[in-house]
Amino acid sequence: MATTKGKKRVTFLLDDPNAWQVAVCGDFNDWEIEKHPMQKTEDGRWRKIMMLAPGRYEYKFYVDTEWRCDPANPSRCANMFGTANSVVFVKP
C-alpha cells in the first residue's frame, strides 16, 4: 500500500498547446518517460500532479521525443550530457 505521509503535492506545468505527448521525468522516477505522462488541459497546458518527499530533484519534460528544461523554472544544474536539468526543491 502506497503512503503519502510526509510527501508534498508538486504540480508540474508546461505551456505547449502544439505538443501531442508530454511526460515529466527526473530522478524521482528514474528518468523513465512512461511513468509520469502529463495530461493536456482545456487551455492547452500540460499538467501533472505528483506527491514527492522533501528533497532536491532534477527533472526535464519529454515533449514529442525531445528533452526540454522547464521554461517556467529558472533553477537549473548541469548534467552529464553537457546540457542542463531543471531543479525543484520540495520543502519539508
Amino acid 5: pLDDT: 79
**Which domains are present in the chain?**
8-90 (2.60.40.10)
Tell which phi-psi region holds residue 75, choosing left (phi > 0), alpha (psi between -120 and 50) or beta: beta
This prediction's pTM: 0.91
Q: What is the pLDDT of residues 9-63, one digit of tens each?
A: 999 999 999 999 999 999 999 999 999 999 999 999 999 999 999 999 999 999 9
Joined grid coordinates for residue 80: 552529464
Separation CA 84–CA 92 (nearest Å)? 25
Residue 3's pLDDT is 53
CB crowding 55-82: b at 16 or more within 10 Å, else e: eebbbbbbbeeeeebbeeeeeeeeeeee
